[in-house]
Amino acid sequence: MEELLLLPGESVKDIAKDVTYICPFSGAYQGSFTVTNYRLYFRSLERDMRNIRFAYKQDLRTRKSVFENLAKFAFPLNYGLPLFAFEYKEVFPENGWKVYDPIQEYRRQDQKSACKNNRARCYD
């Protein structure tokens, strides 16, 4: 399987191997289940994920650990954890405040164009 590409600030919290994805359309598929502080991954060769149901082997530790981590990172505020948006660590090359010029945008919005319906104001 391909390596899991994580976002800056994203980290793997738990992994369960030999998990079965039960697809209602085409049967069962083996794969691995990974919980991060941002996402849930099920990796398998099957790509049809319209209806998700999982079956675990009878390993109580794995099921409990994955369930607890999934609940914790799906609802981080209930567990006193920060939202992933505050843990995201990507650094952008430009200052986002300088990308937008409000004065220029106001001028752009005030440029009237020919409007066929005289009851409405049209802008470019």
Which residue, chain included where needed, has tokens 């567990």? 79
Class of the domain covering 1-124: mainly beta
Which of 3-7, 40-44, 91-95 has the lowest average pLDDT? 40-44
pLDDT higher than 60, residue 124: no
- Please provide the size of the chain in residues: 124
Percent of the chain with pLDDT over 70: 72
Query: Could you give the CA distance from residue 40 to residue 74 in angstroms, rounded to a whole number?
Result: 9
CB neighbour list of residue 114: distance below 8 Å, 6 or more residues apart:
122
The model carries a pTM of: 0.51
Average pLDDT score over residue span 14-37: 81
pLDDT recorded at residue 114: 46
Q: Give the rounded distance of the alpha carbon of 10 from its chain centre.
A: 11
Domain boundaries, the chain: 1-124
Sheet holding 54-55, edge to edge: 40-43, 27-36, 12-23, 54-55
